[in-house]
Amino acid sequence: MSDRAPRPLIVGSGIAGLYVALRVREMGLRPTIVTKGRLEESNTRYAQGGIAAAVGPDDSPARHLADTVRAGAGLVDRAAAQLLTRDAPARIADLVRYGVPFDTVDGRIALGREAAHSRARLLHAGGDATGLSIEETLKRRVLEGGIEVRERTVLRALRPGDRNGPVAVLSLANGTATEIENPRPVVLATGGVGSLYRQSSNPSVATGEGVAIAFRAGALVADMEFVQFHPTAFARAGAPRFLITEALRGEGAVLRNEAGERFLVGQHPDAELAPRDVVTRAIEREIARSTHPWVYLDATALPRELLFTRFPSVSNFVLSHGLDPSREPIPVAPVAHYMIGGVSTDLWGRSSIRGLWAVGEVAATGVHGANRLGSNSLVEGLVFGERAARDLHAPAPGGPKTPRRLVTVPRTEGHGIPEEQELFEEIRGLLWEQVGIVRDGPGLAAALARFEEIGARVEPARSDTLPGPVANAALTASLVARAALLRTESRGAHYRADHPRPKPSGRQHIGLQREAPRRRG
């Protein structure tokens, strides 16, 4: 490999980051992965249900496309979804080549089912340890391939660079040392925003700072109002909000209220397999009527052996909290789960900043529309990761289309007051309460005002000082709240109690971009 080979900097180590690193290395580039925690710590690790691809005998990319488009509530970018569903089987073949041990039955790939999929099309590994298995396999390949990895290293800022790409400013996670890289291609694979919500299925590293950093650098972001909530996380007081996979409902588990009634029957033709947003809001309504903040996922009709072989992580987790899922229903409640919006890209992962790509959850390709179909996210990281890798190898000009509804966000002066952890917790609480499953105009406006106030307080006053985690959290949270305030309708994962129906005018993406710097005089 030549010393002059391009050296992309890949920020993040979930499926998208690891896969892009492996692929560009195979193409002769010299990538470096930087990651905030340990190499294996990412949202991917916690993915349970599976990874979607039309590989079953009764399935086809066209059916997968139709399901993706239907779930996306009128906002799916069809070209992106066509690529996703067409290329998914080939990307699964890549995972098999890298050694991911997908589960089989009688020598054939085993396929599970989740809500709003018309076919069983989820490949899984280790039962419900799909993400863990993928993450560990790709990690092993990265290490065997000698790819440079810098753990506990965070991206702090992106600054204007040259034709090679932006300048990345990196710090050790404990803030002790800061390095300014030479201009080089940068791939954001920093994941989502889940952990900025008080109740979340995501690991603590998922705080959405990739969006804040790209936005500050001038990147276009889109669809930020669409934060997907997962209906069923373990909801016992004091226990972590462990995900209880939707694939359990795919196998026949049902939801019951306090009185033991299946409350989704009669609310939607698909009952417990209705789209995620429908199930989430139905649970919220039941909780509002209940004496405790959860409903029950009842898997007691499933054979015990199936529970512990197909869903070992969930079953053993629940058992470790004193509940036998084959005998007792599991208390569950919704949590923040997935950021549908993010840094706007074209179909090659190119952002609006030259030399900056975004892949996986941090990217907004439009492929999920207003509501992501379960298990389309891991495969998104691969399909658009492959395209970004090819583009990094032979870069071509491009970038996202400007959304018809593009809003310029004014710059605010920062006061540079030192950050306090309480502000971070305040942001998490406000997002959950006012920018959560059910929103309304006054709540969103109040939350946005507070996020901006916190941002102005902690955002550095001088351009040579780096924004910290609270400044990033306040900025990302303000983008979610602002977009949610602008979307005066309900669609997919975004529900406004004061505008409870979709509107024809809402069939467009909302883009946000920072006001350009003022020229000095």
- For residue 131, the minimal CB distance to ligand SIN (Å) is 9
Q: Does 513 bind ligand SIN (CB under 6 A)?
A: no
Q: What is the H or E stretch that residue 210 is in?
A: helix 209-216
Stretch that binds ligand SIN, among 137-145, 373-381, 419-427, 459-467 (CB under 6 A): 373-381
SS3 368: coil
Site string for ligand SIN, 286-325 (x = CB under 6 A): ----------------------------------------
- For residue 356, the minimal CB distance to ligand SIN (Å) is 26
Catalytic residue status for 276 = yes
Stretch that binds ligand SIN, among 45-53, 90-98, 102-110, 219-227 (CB under 6 A): 45-53
- For residue 194, the minimal CB distance to ligand SIN (Å) is 11
Residue nearest to ligand SIN (CB): 49
> What six digits make up the tokens of 263?
């409350």
β-strand 295-298 against 178-180: which pairing, if any? unpaired
Kindly report the CA angle at 82 between 28 and 383, in degrees rounded to 5?
25
Q: Which of 156, 184, 276, 439 is catalytic?
A: 276
- For residue 203, the minimal CB distance to ligand SIN (Å) is 14
- For residue 377, the minimal CB distance to ligand SIN (Å) is 5
CB-based contact 38:150 (threshold 8 Å): no
Q: Rounded CA gap, 301 and 46, in Å?
A: 26
- For residue 50, the minimal CB distance to ligand SIN (Å) is 7
Q: Does 377 bind ligand SIN (CB under 6 A)?
A: yes
Stretch that binds ligand SIN, among 142-150, 218-226, 362-370, 374-382 (CB under 6 A): 374-382
Q: Rounded CA gap, 405 and 222, in Å?
A: 10
**Full DSSP string of 95-162:** HHHHT--B-EETTEE-EE--TT-SS--EE-BTTT-HHHHHHHHHHHHHHHTT-EEE-SEEEEEEEEEE
Inter-CA distances, 225 with 150, 431, 486, Å:
32, 12, 9
Q: What is the H or E stretch that residue 514 is in?
A: strand 510-514
Site string for ligand SIN, 217-256 (x = CB under 6 A): ----------------------------xxx---------
Tell which one of 374, 400, 414, 468 touches ligand SIN (CB under 6 A): 374
Q: Rounded CA gap, 79 and 68, in Å?
A: 12
Stretch that binds ligand SIN, among 43-51, 97-105, 180-188, 354-362 (CB under 6 A): 43-51
Q: Rounded CA gap, 245 and 302, in Å?
A: 15
Residues 94-153 touching ligand SIN, rule: CB under 6 A, are: none
CB-based contact 76:69 (threshold 8 Å): yes
Q: Does 68 bind ligand SIN (CB under 6 A)?
A: no
Residue type at 233 in one-letter notation:
A
Tell which one of 35, 43, 371, 375 touches ligand SIN (CB under 6 A): 375
Tell which one of 12, 49, 127, 166 touches ligand SIN (CB under 6 A): 49
- For residue 51, the minimal CB distance to ligand SIN (Å) is 8
Nearer to ligand SIN, 352 or 371 (CB): 371
> What six digits make up the tokens of 58?
């009764």
Q: Name 372's Cβ contacts closer than 8 Å, sequence gap at least 6.
A: 71, 72, 228, 276, 338, 340, 493
CB atoms within 10 A of CB 70: 16
Tell which one of 13, 35, 44, 48 touches ligand SIN (CB under 6 A): 48
**Full DSSP string of 9-45:** EEE--SHHHHHHHHHHHHTT---EEE-SS-TT-SGGG
β-strand 356-358 against 405-409: which pairing, if any? unpaired
Nearer to ligand SIN, 336 or 353 (CB): 336
Nearer to ligand SIN, 350 or 368 (CB): 368
Q: Determine the size of the site formed for ligand SIN (CB under 6 A).
A: 11
Stretch that binds ligand SIN, among 1-9, 369-377, 490-498, 500-508 (CB under 6 A): 369-377
Site string for ligand SIN, 447-476 (x = CB under 6 A): ------------------------------
Residue 345: exposed, middle, or buried by beta-carbon count in 10 A (0-12, 13-18, 19+)? buried
Q: Rounded CA gap, 329 and 341, in Å?
A: 34
Site string for ligand SIN, 389-418 (x = CB under 6 A): ------------------------------
Stretch that binds ligand SIN, among 23-31, 141-149, 370-378, 416-424 (CB under 6 A): 370-378
Q: What is the H or E stretch that residue 478 is in?
A: helix 469-486
Residues in contact with ligand SIN by the rule CB under 6 A: 47-49, 245-247, 337-338, 374-375, 377
Q: Which residues are catalytic?
A: 276
